[in-house]
Amino acid sequence: MLSKGLITTLFAASLVLAGNALSGQPEISQAVREQFAAVATHLQVKQALDFIRDDDAKTLAEQKTIVGIASPPFKEQTRAQDYVKRLAALGFKDASMDKEGNVIAVRPGSGGGPKLVVSAHLDTVFPAGTDLTIKEKDGKLYAPGIGDDTRGLAELLSMVRALNATNIKTIGDIWFVGTVGEEGLGDLRGARALFRDHKDLDGFISIDGPRPERITYIAVGSHRYRVTFKGPGGHSFSAFGRPSAIHAMGRAIAKIADLKTPKDPKTTFTVGTMRGGTSVNAIAGDAVMELDMRSVGMQALLNLEAAALKGIKDALIEENARWGSDTITVDIKLVGDRPAGFQPPDALIIQAAMSAVRAVGLEPVLEEPASTDSNVAISLGIPAMTIGRGGVNGDNHSINEWFDPKDAYLGPQKNLLTVLALVGIEGVSKPILAKRTVEK
């Protein structure tokens, strides 16, 4: 049986248009409404949504199992191997890991349709040795990574089971992918590899985020640097007159702190960490800082980067000149590079997701720009978005991370509706997602 939200909100055109106008959200086009309605009211799709609701306990059980498989940054292999086995058990004979460590399984369509990736990331922020034991309290599950993005991985599996159970024939191909390197200094390496090795992908969805109604469609780009100053060091009294690595770094931080950034596009910076020296009575022979710069606009990010790097180099010159020396050196290393990108809020992929959120009885929220696996596709001009998981998730990236599974099945329900609308169903609806023209 369909959710009450699907029955009561499914496409009375005047109500949808009025709701869009009142909320200030983009209007759903007539074509998208018609194509989405054909998908959502199709008998097999209704059966698939019912299956996902009935599959909720199994999905949660898989989530609990997967979270116990450690997947630290750059060490995702054990979880990836387990995920390959889970997909193979669902009928994917081609389920495998690529050279970067991504897990990929393709469900072919009838031909001639788009290739859509629907993904979740395998990695967590937690180092090896972290206690991953689940604790339950007041209906919530507590464990590092219980939501981010273990829940996304479990939802992908539930969607596959629903498709298998109902034998829905899509026009486009659905690529089910577990990516590596989404978090921190992983630098989106899995998503980068995916689009580097497969030039003909037409769309990308990442299932990630703490609530099911949330849609992220603008990519915040970031450049991160580790800056290391080195010098001769020495005793604070007897060697006084030598330049200091910490003083050079202090000059650099002061220059960075005074930088001006545009409000539009939003552009930010911070020196997030700093360390160095050996003793209170020593001239520092080394100092290291890490600099994070972000922007929605790629050119604004590049302008900020150029100004910050100039400030660092000027600081080096000034510290050496202060003491008539040339012994302080600096090593500037790029350790994070995430591309920025923009697409309009009324992009067809966003309209499909908004329709799906409303269909399960929720109201879509177009999120603030963020940095997710979708950055890569958006920066390449490929339709992409990050859509929230089912349930509610909080305290992400902390050992106190929690997950509330109440009505969590709404996540994979609206995700499957979105995917089916985008790739189309044979004999039912055309794909909303277009095939791209790829230069050879």
Half-sphere exposure of 134 (CA within 13 A, CB side): 22
In a domain, 257, yes or no: yes
Does 167 lie in the same domain as 93?
A: yes
Q: Residue 14, exposed/middle/buried by CB under 10 A (0-12, 13-18, 19+)? A: exposed
C-alpha span between 207 and 68 (Å, rounded): 20
1, pLDDT greater than 50: no
C-alpha span between 355 and 31 (Å, rounded): 12
Mark which of 319, 338, 357 sits at the end of a domain.
Answer: 338
Closest-CA residue to 182 (of 172, 194, 197): 194
pLDDT band at 186 (very low <50, low <70, confident <90, very high): very high
Rounded to a whole number of angstroms, the CA Rg of the chain reads 25
- What pLDDT is stored for residue 41 in this prediction? 97
In a domain, 73, yes or no: yes
Does 112 lie in the same domain as 20?
A: yes
Mark which of 338, 365, 390 sits at the end of a domain.
Answer: 338
Instruction: Say how many C-beta atoms besides its own lie within 10 A of residue 108's C-beta.
Output: 14
Does 189 lie in the same domain as 56?
A: yes
pLDDT band at 25 (very low <50, low <70, confident <90, very high): confident
pLDDT digits (tens, 9 = 90+) for 350-365: 999 999 999 999 999 9
Mark which of 293, 318, 338 sits at the end of a domain.
Answer: 338
Find all residues with CB under 8 Å of 5, minimum gap 6, and list them.
Answer: 358, 359, 360, 361, 362
Q: How many domains does the chain have?
A: 2
What is the longest distance spanned by two Cα atoms in the chain? 86
Output b/e per residue, 325-341; b: 16+ Cβ within 10 A: eeebebeeeeebebbbb
Strand partners, 276: 287
10, pLDDT greater than 90: no
Closest-CA residue to 381 (of 430, 440, 439, 306): 439
Does 135 lie in the same domain as 57?
A: yes
pLDDT band at 440 (very low <50, low <70, confident <90, very high): low
In a domain, 440, yes or no: no
What does the mean pLDDT of the chain come to? 94
Q: Is-contact 224 305, C-beta < 8 A?
A: no
Does 90 lie in the same domain as 196?
A: yes
Kindly state the average pLDDT of the residues 114-135. 98
Domain span at 174: 4-219+341-423
Does 178 lie in the same domain as 102?
A: yes
- What pLDDT is stored for residue 390 in this prediction? 98
Domain CATH for 227: 3.30.70.360
- What pLDDT is stored for residue 302 in this prediction? 97
Instruction: Say how many C-beta atoms besides its own lie within 10 A of residue 279's C-beta.
Output: 10
| Full-model pTM | 0.89
Does 129 lie in the same domain as 274?
A: no
Does 410 lie in the same domain as 334?
A: no
In a domain, 417, yes or no: yes
In a domain, 267, yes or no: yes
- Lowest mean pLDDT of 13-22, 29-38, 208-217, 259-268, name the range: 13-22
Q: Is-contact 102 180, C-beta < 8 A?
A: yes
- What pLDDT is stored for residue 338 in this prediction? 96
Closest-CA residue to 373 (of 125, 193, 188, 97): 188
- What pLDDT is stored for residue 408 in this prediction? 98
Does 269 lie in the same domain as 358?
A: no
Domain CATH for 209: 3.40.630.10
Report the share of the chain in percent with pLDDT over 90: 93
In a domain, 273, yes or no: yes
Q: Which residue has the tokens 């991370």?
A: 401
Does 149 lie in the same domain as 58?
A: yes
Does 398 lie in the same domain as 358?
A: yes
Kindly state the average pLDDT of the residues 233-237. 97
In a domain, 429, yes or no: no
Does 205 lie in the same domain as 272?
A: no
In a domain, 411, yes or no: yes
